[in-house]
Structure 1
Amino acid sequence: MLSLSNAPHRGGLTRADGFFFMMVPKNYSGDYKADCLAFEREQGLKNFVGFMTAADIGAVLSTAKSGSVSAYITAGITNPAIAGEVPPPWRPGTINIALVIDEGLTVGAMANAIMTATEAKTYTLLRLGYKATGTTSDGIGIFAFEGEKEWAGTATELGINIGRAVRKALEESLRKWEKTRA
């Protein structure tokens, strides 16, 4: 599939065979490039896009499907931030969103999908009472077949499905994360 992401491992625009979420210690300050590559090899993976999180992946990973969109989300929000404001002192916490879209998209539609997913993430955070638009280290990746579909905004069926999948999986992941803090 074609992948467009800000992931620390094989981020950017690339072809990928899949993605992974890698758990790191809360005060991680290692060589993320070497560590992600080592993780990929240790897991027997090849040509994967990799995301990192200090959240307990087994406890917080949530998935949701809507139409052709499958959302995979891990959330930890100990470092909430609002875009355009100086963030509070850094603490570990990340929201990672990986969307697998079973349709053929242009690169522009993949960028549009990132916008739609980010809007859904922000809405979910605000609706749940977080005074944040995200965290200081959020990750997102869109994985889709290369094709002709040009739009993935909120007015499209694809955009509606992106919003639904992200909102459902993120809300579930945040609720799970809150339980890990109790």
Structure 2
Amino acid sequence: MRFDHFIKRFNEPLLALSNAPHRGGLTKANGFFFMMVSKNYAGNYRKDCADFEREHGLKNFVGFMTAAEVGKVLSVAMSGSVTAYVTAGITNPAVAGDVPPPWTPGTINIALVIGDGLTVGAMANAIMTATEAKTYTLLRLGYNATGTTSDGIGVFAPEGGVEWAGTATELGVSIGKAIRKALEESIEKWEMTRSVK
């Protein structure tokens, strides 16, 4: 499978909470995209993401960027009401709180689409749980890192009354399972792309 981007369209607008470079923060979204950029990318990300959205006929999408080959590393996993979409590139692993090593391109992008109606607080809780699952997966696979220096994450869900998404909840368990499976698969794919070069 070879393509340089991935676009996910929703059946209806969802509440979105993310640190994405395009329409990050708290917003309503019709979908999201993972956009591939060059390994030496130093462009105007605001303009480039807006151009990508326009060129693909999209409107009100949340956009993530990565230098990883999207078509080769994208992994999707489901658990309960949660679907995790992950692209992994780990050329710049880092530990939160440590001075990062010299910067090189590499990003773990995580998009969680949740069927349950969540409060904004639960969406923040979901990001916390997803980050814990990401870090556990990296450590278990032998990476001495809590993430990379440029990770992206987004949670997409209907607005609703579910207030909690931590590790003690059924939703949190589903988030953890989906993230761990998708991230492990994506890292394995990424490692394979490096071994054949």
- CA distance in 1: counterparts of 2:172 and 2:98, whole angstroms: 28
- CA distance in 1: counterparts of 2:127 and 2:40, whole angstroms: 28
Residue segments in structure 2 that go unaligned for 5+ positions in a row: 1-13
Shift of 1:159: 0.1
Shift of 1:121: 0.0
- Where do 1:97-116 residues align within 5 Å? 97-116=110-129
Deviations 1:10-32, CA, capped at 9 Å, x for gaps: 00000000000000000100000
Shift of 1:44: 1.2
* Structure 2 residue 62 is the aligned partner of structure 1 residue 49: yes
Deviations 1:140-177, CA, capped at 9 Å, x for gaps: 00000000000000000000000000000000000000
- CA distance in 1: counterparts of 2:21 and 2:175, whole angstroms: 23
* Structure 2 residue 185 is the aligned partner of structure 1 residue 158: no
Counterpart of 1:15 in 2: which secondary structure?
Answer: strand
Alignment length (residue pairs): 182
Shift of 1:57: 0.0
TM-score by length of 2: 0.92
- CA distance in 2: counterparts of 1:59 and 1:46, whole angstroms: 26
Letter of the structure 1 residue corresponding to residue 17 of structure 2: L
Question: RMSD value over aligned CA atoms?
Answer: 0.3
Letter of the structure 1 residue corresponding to residue 137 of structure 2: T
Letter of the structure 1 residue corresponding to residue 93 of structure 2: P
Q: Provide the residue aligned with 1:23 in structure 2.
A: 36
- Where do 1:78-89 residues align within 5 Å? 78-89=91-102
Percent same amino acid at aligned positions? 80
- CA distance in 1: counterparts of 2:56 and 2:36, whole angstroms: 13
Runs of 4+ deviating beyond 6 Å: none
Letter of the structure 2 residue corresponding to residue 180 of structure 1: T
Deviations 1:49-68, CA, capped at 9 Å, x for gaps: 00000000000000000000
Shift of 1:136: 0.1
- Where do 1:1-182 residues align within 5 Å? 1-182=14-195
Deviations 1:53-89, CA, capped at 9 Å, x for gaps: 0000000000000000000000000000000000100
- CA distance in 1: counterparts of 2:117 and 2:194, whole angstroms: 40
Letter of the structure 1 residue corresponding to residue 86 of structure 2: I
